[in-house]
């Protein structure tokens, strides 16, 4: 039995204790013959997966009542693992969700690292820098690389810290973002914990 979190960029599998990723663009899910319990936010993959008998969509077992209709199932499942705190999922997008006393309080969507670097580059070739995650967040920048890094990172930092809650970092860029949120707990498998919790509650598997 496998667990799989299907995103816009990759299929993220958990095989017992090992986790691994496959590129969403090139991976053929019908090549997997085992039973796979999955959640999926990728509209293209969704259509393919519902035709495959051994791929079982866990979203049917998720209690959506505290969430909103268009909210990504990955955010919902991750929030279900938290009693109190902020969960930052740093992937193609950076989602920031707040849970208080086990209830989803709302959340926002920030652009992901690569998308944002591309955005600055598109605005002007003079802004084609990689972000400096070692940047001093207490000092207004005086060079171009820090000026865009601060624009992307300090604004997010400022909003997140204003909630004064424990932070869980997950997603492909969790380790990068941990540099600006050094007190956050990194948990790259939080989504699988959420999926297991749902399966247990629904007596699936």
Which of 13, 38, 55, 120 is the binder for its own copies (CB under 8 A)? 120
Stretch that binds its own copies, among 17-25, 57-65, 94-102, 196-204 (CB under 8 A): 94-102
Q: Does 116 bind its own copies (CB under 8 A)?
A: yes
Which of 43, 164, 183, 203 is the binder for its own copies (CB under 8 A)? 43
Cα distance between residue 53 and residue 113, in whole Å = 35
Which of 68, 130, 200, 205 is the binder for its own copies (CB under 8 A)? 68
Q: Exposure of 94 by Cβ count < 10 A (0-12 exposed, 13-18 middle, 19+ buried)?
A: buried
Which of 30, 50, 54, 155 is the binder for its own copies (CB under 8 A)? 155
SS3 labels along 41-100: CCHHHHHHHCCCCCEEEHHHHCCCCCCCCCCCHHHHHHHCCCCCEEEEEECCEEEEEEEE
Stretch that binds its own copies, among 48-56, 151-159, 178-186, 191-199 (CB under 8 A): 151-159
**Which tokens belong to 142?**
């005086």
Active site residue 57: no
CB distance 14 to 192 below 8 Å: yes
- Give Cα 172 to chain centroid, integer Å: 8
The residue annotated as part of the active site, out of 74, 97, 146, 173, is 74
Applying CB under 8 A, the residues found at the interface with its own copies are: 8, 41, 43, 67-68, 70-72, 92-94, 96, 98, 105-112, 115-116, 118-120, 122-127, 139-144, 146-148, 150-152, 154-156, 158-159, 162
């Amino acid at each position: 039995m496998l667990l799989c979190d299907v995103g816009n960029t990759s299929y993220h599998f958990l095989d017992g204790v090992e986790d691994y990723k496959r590129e969403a663009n090139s991976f053929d899910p019908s090549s997997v013959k085992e039973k796979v319990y999955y959640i999926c936010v990728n509209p293209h993959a969704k259509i393919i997966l519902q035709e495959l008998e051994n791929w079982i969509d866990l979203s049917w077992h998720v209690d959506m009542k505290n969430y909103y209709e268009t909210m990504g199932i990955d955010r919902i499942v991750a929030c279900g693992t938290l009693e109190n705190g902020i969960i930052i999922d740093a992937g193609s997008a950076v989602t920031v969700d707040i849970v208080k006393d086990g209830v989803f309080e709302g959340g926002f969507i920030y652009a992901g690292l690569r998308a944002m670097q591309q955005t600055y580059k598109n605005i002007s070739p003079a802004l084609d820098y990689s972000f400096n995650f070692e940047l001093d967040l207490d000092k207004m920048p005086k060079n171009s690389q820090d000026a865009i890094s601060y624009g992307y990172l300090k604004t997010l930092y400022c909003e997140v810290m204003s909630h004064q809650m424990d932070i869980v970092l997950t997603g492909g860029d969790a380790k990068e973002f941990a540099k600006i949120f050094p007190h956050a707990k990194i948990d790259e498998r939080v989504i699988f914990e959420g999926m297991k919790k749902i399966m247990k509650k629904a007596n699936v598997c």
